[in-house]
Amino acid sequence: MGYRRLSFSIRAKLVFFTVSIILLVGGGISWFDASVLRGQLIDHFEAAADQVDASTSAALVDALYFLDIPRLRGELQQAQVNHDVSVAVALDTQGRVLSDGSTDNPLWLQTFPGSIAQRLVDTRQPVHERQAGKIIKGRPVHSPGGGLLGFFYMEYSTGNLEQASAEAQQQRLLLAIAFISFGGLLAWLLAWHATKPLTCMLSAVREIGSGNLDVTLSTDRSDEIGALGESINAMASNLRRTTTSIERLNAEIAEREQTEIRLIEACDDAEKANTAKSDFLSHMSHELRTPLNAILGFGQILEMDAESLNDEQNESIREILVAGDHLLHLINEVLDLAKIESSKLEIFMQAVEVDEVMQQCLSLIVVQAEQRQLSIIDNISNRGYVVQADALRLKQVLLNLLSNAVKYNRVQGTITLDAEIIDGQRLRISIVDTGKGLTEDELARLFKPFERIESDRHVEGSGIGLVISQRLTGLMAGNMGVNSAVGTGSEFWIEFELVNSL
């Protein structure tokens, strides 16, 4: 069985909190006032005790000096005229009682009891201590020459202090009760006045919560409650506008969902079209290579019988062979690109000696380099580098980069081959030419399929060699990059996992 949580109205809460604040403030003020009054009374009693102590000690000097017991008794009796002095004793230098102000003097020459009197005698210093119901004071009495004559010990009663403090507290308690009663009545009137319009607002808010947004409250007040009513009216107005906006947004969302569905369908169609394109390129490449190989074969046969042909015929045969080789190279590149895009290209990773692959590639481009009077600076060979790659595809990538370094270089330029070990785990192979370099716009379009740089349109090429090289490098877990500056040249580099180096 659960417990029902108590619920209080705002009016009850206002009354409770107001009375609580009044009680706390009134109680705090009363406590502080009582503390101040008690402190003042204590200070008054302390001052009175100090006055009696000082005057009596001075009066005892001669009596102690001459050991005049009757005079001692008289001075002590004079001190006890003050009704608050309960004990007044004159002691000798050893702490024995000489007189307590009484005629019979029962403690004559006996050590006065009590630790405070003993401390006074032992330390020969004034003592002052406050205990329950009394103030204890004592001081040594000296002769005019400074010699110790004895001690004066006094107990000052604070009974009148406690009585005066109790009477003051009683008066303040009665005042606090009257103050709280008046505050409670005032709090109830304030709560009733404040919560009356809140009932109307509560009804209006419930209407708004049920969906009726056409509620309007009267706002003829200029205080905070009137401002609250205006805020509720503004909230209802904003909710009406928001509801309209939400309905409009829901319609837009539904339309966008339909658009998204159409876009997804279009993406699926595009993916299917791309797959169909790759399949078409692959099939067409195979279909084109068969008659092209036949043309190249017949051309090579005719070239072998060049002596029986005239010069014009021999030149035509050479053009057929050059054009056929270029077309065959283009078909092979298109076929490779189609295989890469369709994820059908197989990669066989193994440890590959960089020296061997580089020498094979250099032997294939050395003739073209000599024709353009290019110098090749080889800083890679005979270094014993071994990388993890596909030997055939690594050769294809290096051959493409070297061919570009020859084609896009200036006449009598240089090609520099360098290698650098990166982080002790990867080998970076760099091919640097001294061509015209590339602009920022050309660098941005460099690795896009079939993109040709405007300034190099006269150079033979398909525009997909670098794209294939970059993707082949990625399939071999490598990286490819380029650094170039206009008028200086370009540096193309590839990175692969290093297996070994001498």
The answer to whether the Cα torsion of 153, 159, 161, 162 is positive or negative is: positive
Of the candidates 110, 136, 166, which is a domain's last residue?
166
Sequence-ordered list of residues with C-beta below 8 angstroms from that of 349, at least 6 positions apart, any chain: 388, 389, 390, 476, 477
* Domain-embedded: residue 26: yes
* Per-residue pLDDT reduced to its tens digit, 49-80: 676 667 777 777 777 777 778 887 787 777 77
CATH code of the domain containing 63: 3.30.450.20
Q: Residue type for 3, please?
A: Y
H runs (alpha helix) in 111-219: 115-123, 159-209
* Domain-embedded: residue 144: yes
* Per-residue pLDDT reduced to its tens digit, 257-296: 888 888 888 887 777 766 666 666 666 666 666 676 777 6
92 vs 94: CA distance, rounded Å: 5
Residue span of the structural domain in which 144 resides:
10-166
* Per-residue pLDDT reduced to its tens digit, 329-378: 666 666 666 667 767 778 899 999 999 999 998 988 888 899 999 999 99
Answer whether residue 12 shows pLDDT above 60.
yes
Q: How many domains does the chain have?
A: 2
Residue 1 pLDDT class (50, 70, 90 cuts): very low
End-to-end CA distance of the chain: 85
9 vs 388: CA distance, rounded Å: 81
pLDDT at residue 350, as a whole number:
93
Of the candidates 166, 181, 200, which is a domain's last residue?
166
Tokens of 61: 């000097």
502 vs 485: CA distance, rounded Å: 33
Of the candidates 151, 166, 181, which is a domain's last residue?
166
Tokens of 160: 């009148």
Strand residues in 322-404 grouped as ranges (E)? 350-353, 375-378, 386-389
Are 502 and 395 a contacting pair, CB within 8 Å? no
* Domain-embedded: residue 229: no
The answer to whether the Cα torsion of 340, 477, 381, 415 is positive or negative is: positive
Map tokens 């071999």 to a residue. 476
CATH code of the domain containing 417: 3.30.565.10
Q: What angle in degrees, to the nearest 10, is found between the helix axes of 159-209 and 224-304?
A: 60
Answer whether residue 253 shows pLDDT above 50.
yes
pLDDT at residue 11, as a whole number:
58
Strand residues in 310-384 grouped as ranges (E)? 350-353, 375-378
Question: What Å distances lie between residue 300 and 54, 331, 368, 389, CA to CA?
Answer: 143, 19, 21, 35
Count Cα neighbours of 55 within 13 Å in the Cβ-side half-sphere: 12
11 vs 19: CA distance, rounded Å: 12
**Looking at per-residue confidence, does 421 or 112 come out higher?**
421
**pTM exceeds 0.95:** no
pLDDT at residue 47, as a whole number:
72
pLDDT at residue 109, as a whole number:
80
Tokens of 336: 């490779």
% pLDDT > 70, the chain = 70
**Looking at per-residue confidence, does 299 or 263 come out higher?**
263
